[in-house]
Amino acid sequence: MLKQRIITALILAPLALIAILFLPPQGFNIVIALVVALGAWEWANMSGIHARPAKGLYTLFIIACCFGLSATVPEGMVWYQGQLNSTYQYVLGSAAVWWLISLFMIIAYPKYSAFWQRSNLIRSVFGVLTLVPTWVAVVTLRTSLYEIDPYYGASLIFYVLGIVWAADIGAFFVGVKFGRHKLRPRVSPGKTLEGLLGGIAASSAIIAFAALHYQVEPSRIWLHLLIGGLTVGVSALGDLNESMFKRCAGIKDSGKLLPGHGGVLDRIDSLTAAFPVFAFCYVTWMA
């Protein structure tokens, strides 16, 4: 299993690096839409949709949402005179509300969950609210200041990836060594409060380095640290959110596409929350 995980990671990491750094915006948008489409196929299964034609239709709907947004707002108009397009702002704002709702769902689980557990449609809508804003958020960050510096947006994406991955690693080791207090045992028995705090501590070094790299004004450092910490905290929420839906569906992994890793959603669950929330904060307070 470990050998499979390492081989898969060694293959995917360079591909992700090439896509982020070297693909033009249009090509990059298509690649991210395809990743989201793979996640949509798996989400359909978590929603109780098992027939291949129905799963295919759901996946096509998610792709249509992404390509529809891309056609409505061309790459060069995502940002205009330093302002994000209003449609994208609306999507990111909706995502922030969705993740707040998701937080209450996770805290209350399994209470008050009967109405959505019994409905494939409602769980499918939750997938739309999770996956489409992820595409919008990544595109938003990648195109930020693109005309001035083609790599600035890439650095924002690497920042989010860095703090989330650092948090995952820190949470794993601290949780294994010191984990005593379960976060939400009925949702994900392996997640602990100590692990969450360890993850936040592990990511703090990257957050601090980024503050220096971007030459953040001293009066705004607290805001930078707050948004970084919030992004890390929300990434844990994304993980718990997927665990909750997998538990409802009675499955261990979202899929089998990535040997040793499970499905695509098993790898990007944290990012589906982190990217939209960070992008919303970036657009609102940092851009």
Q: What is the pLDDT of residues 197-243, one digit of tens each?
A: 888 888 988 888 888 777 778 778 888 889 999 999 899 999 999 99
The confidence score (pLDDT) of residue 215 equals: 75
Measured at the CA of 152, the angle between CA 146 and CA 157, to 5 degrees, comes to 110
Domain count of the fold of the chain: 1
Query: What's the domain range around 42?
Result: 2-286
The contacts of residue 93 (CB under 8 Å, 6+ apart) are 280
Residue 5, pLDDT above cutoff 70: no
Q: What is the pTM of this model?
A: 0.94
The confidence score (pLDDT) of residue 116 equals: 92
pLDDT band at 275 (very low <50, low <70, confident <90, very high): very high
Q: Show the tokens assigned to 174.
A: 């601290």
The 10s digit of each residue's pLDDT in 87-126 is 999 999 999 999 999 999 999 998 888 889 989 999 999 9
Pick the more confident residue, 220 or 266.
266
